[in-house]
Structure 1
C-alpha cells in the first residue's frame, strides 16, 4: 500500500515553478556599476582634465562633480559618504569639495556631525589642495567650507583661523569676480561658505549658487524614485536656465537612509553588491517605479529593484538629455558618473 497521498503532478510542478520564481526575486545578482565606487584608491586618472576645457567658459557654464562631505570616511555606513582619500578624489576628476569643520579648542577639525574624521583643515585639506594645484595648474577647485555644529560665539575666531591656515599652506584662493572665466581661476580655489563670516579671504556666500538640493533626508528607501524625479526636473532647470546662474544639485542623502544605498541601491556598501528588491514585481506592478530596473526575470515575472542615484544620473547625463549641469554633489562617485559629467564641458 502507498504510504503517501497521491499528489497531482501538475500541481507539484506549478508549486516548484512558483517557488523558484520567489527565490529568484529575493536572490540578488552582483551589480557592478562604474557610476558608484566604494574603494580605497583613485577610480580614474583625470588629474588634468580641465586643461582641454575652453578657458573662456564662465564658472556658471562649467559642469563638475563634487563630493558631499568630502572627508567623511569614518563613522560606519550611517556616516561614511566617501571612500577615496582627498587626493584620490582630485586625481579622479572631482572638482568641488564639501568641507565640514568644527572649531574644537582652537583646532579646525574635520567632522561629519558627531563623527571626527581624523583630519584637520590645514594639514589634511588646504595642504593637499595647494599641492595638487601646484602640480596641476590648469585645474580649478570649488571648495565649500561649513562650520559644523555652528556656534555664533566662535564665528569670528573660525573665520580668522581659516585666514591663518590658508596663508600657512599657501592656498591659492581666488579673489575676484563671483562668476569668473576658467582661464582666470586656473590653479586657484574658489571658496564658498556657510555658518561663518569671512575675514580676509574672498569667499562667496552659499547663496551665490542656485541650490536645487533636496536636503539630505528621505523618510524611507521607497522614496528614492520620487527623489530622482525631482532631481531630473532640477537638471532640466539648470540646463535651460541663464548661463549666468551658478547651479548646484545633490544626489546625496544621509538621513533616513544609508548614504551608500541612495548612491547605489545596493543591499550593502560593496561596489559589487546586489541591488535591493523593492518588493514589487511585474507584470502586476508594471507601472511602478518606471525608472528602476526589472531584474531576475523568470516565466514572465520580474523583480523591480532599486537603482542608485549615481547610476540614474550617469545614465541620464550620458544619454545626452542635458548639456549643462553646474556642480553635482555625490556620495561615492564612480568613474562613469565623473566622466559623464566632465564630458558636458566639451559639448557645443
Structure 2
C-alpha cells in the first residue's frame, strides 16, 4: 500500500503543471538578458581557461514535453540558439542524430527538435559575423544509442566523424576540428569570430578521435577531471545533492589548474525530477539556478566559475557569471 501511494504521489508530482518555481532573475528569464558583445571587454591574451562562461545544457531542446525540454522556446531551427547567443551564452551542448544523406539532425533522446546541424552552423555563422569579438565553445555528441527512449541513427551512412568533417569549415577554429590534433586550450585572441569544438562524443560518451581540446581527452559520460556532470537526480529531494555537487565543483574550479577549462553542469533529471524542477525548484526544494545566483552573489572567494551549463537560465544568473570576467 505504501509503495503504491508513493508511486501515485510521484506520478502526481511528475505531471503537476506548477511544480517548478516561478520565473525570476535566476530562472526562465533569458529573454531579459542582452550581452551580445561581452567578450569585447576581455583581453586577447586571456586563456579560455580563465574565463567565466554561461552555457546551456541540451542547448536546442525545446520539444518533447516536460521530461525532454531543457531550454526556453524562442523558436525552432536556429531561433532558440540565436536568442541564447544574444543573451550571452558562450558554450553550447549540441546533440545530433545521423540522418539520411549523411546529415545531422538535432535530437534530445527520441525527440527531434525541429532543427538540423545546418541550422546550428548557420546561426553561429550569422552571430559571429555580426559580433566578431565573440567566440562560442561547442560540445558535440552523437545522441542516438538505439536503446529504449533514445533515437536510432539511419543505417548505411558514413561514420559520425566523417559526416562532421563534411560540415567543418572556416567557421571553426581549425586546430579543434582537425582529426587527431588534440588542440591546446587557446587564448581568446586566437579564436575570436570562431567556434571552438571542445570535444566530440560518441553515442555512449567516449571522445572520438581526439577532436577538440587535448584537456578533454578523458571526458567520458558523466564526470571526469575537468567536468562535473552528475546528471541523474533521482527525485525532487535529491536536488539538494545536485546543488552541493555544483557548489563543490565551483570550489574545485577556483582552486584548480589555471590553464584548464572546467565545465560544471547544473542540469539533471530523472522520471521523478524533471529538468525544470531541478533547475527552478519544486515543492519547497530550492532549484539549482536560484541556488547558483545566491552563491555567486555571496562571492565565497571565487575568481572564476569556468563554464556553467544550465537548464532554463535567467537573466540575472547569466549576467552574474559574465561579471566574474
Structures share fold, TM-score greater than 0.5? yes
2:221 equivalent to 1:225: no
Tell me by how many angstroms 1:255 deviates: 2.1
Matches within 5 A, 1:1-348: 31-37=22-28, 42-83=31-72, 84=74, 85-105=80-100, 106-122=102-118, 124-150=119-145, 157-167=159-169, 171-175=171-175, 177-191=183-197, 192-195=199-202, 197=208, 203-204=212-213, 206-207=216-217, 210-256=225-271, 257-266=273-282, 276=283, 305-321=284-300, 322-345=302-325
Partners of 2:261 and 2:239 lie apart in 1 by 26
Distance 1:113 1:97 in 2: 17
CA distance in 2, matches of 1:47, 1:142: 15
Distance 1:29 1:326 in 2: 27
The offset of 1:175, in angstroms, is: 2.1
- Distance, in Å, in 2 between the alignment partners of 1:222 and 1:313 is 17
Separation in 1, partners of 2:157, 2:184: 23
Cα distance, 1:87–1:29 mapped onto 2, change above 3 Å: closer
CA distance in structure 2 between the partners assigned to 1:155 and 1:310 by the alignment: 40
Q: Deviations over 1:174-226 (max 9, x none)?
A: 42642111111111111021117359xx5336436644424211111001112
Give the deviation of 1:233 after TM superposition.
Answer: 1.2
Q: Name the structure 1 match of 2:8.
A: none
Report deviation, 1:29: 12
* CA RMSD across the alignment: 2.6
- CA gap 1:334/1:28 in 2 versus in 1, 3 angstroms: closer
Q: Deviations over 1:304-328 (max 9, x none)?
A: x211101101111122121111111
Residues 1:29 and 1:96: Cα distance change in structure 2 (over 3 Å): closer
**Cα deviation digits, residues 32-89 of structure 1 (max 9, x gap):** 42110167xx331110011001222111111101110001010010100011400000
Please report how far the alpha carbon of residue 228 of structure 1 lies from its aligned counterpart in structure 2 after TM superposition.
1.2
d(CA) in 2 for partners of 1:208, 1:187: 27
Identify if the C-alpha distance between structure 1 residues 82 and 313 changes in structure 2 by more than 3 Å, giving closer, same or farther: same
Counterpart-to-counterpart distance in 2, 1:78 and 1:157: 29
Length-normalised TM-score, structure 2? 0.78
Aligned length: 275
Taking the aligned partners of 1:188 and 1:219, their CA distance within structure 2 comes to 38
TM-score (norm 1): 0.73
In structure 2, distance between residues paired with 1:38 and 1:259: 16
**Distance in 2 between residues matched to 1:154 and 1:50, nearest whole Å:** 42
1:132 and 1:183 mapped to 2: Cα distance? 17
Report the CA distance between 1:107 and its aligned residue: 2.8
CA shift digits 1:264-304 (9 cap, x unpaired): 014xxxxxxxxx2xxxxxxxxxxxxxxxxxxxxxxxxxxxx
SS of corresponding position for 1:175: helix
Q: What CA distance in whole angstroms lies between the structure 2 residues aligned with 1:154 and 1:29? A: 43
Q: Which has the larger radius of gyration?
A: 1
SS at match of 1:180: coil
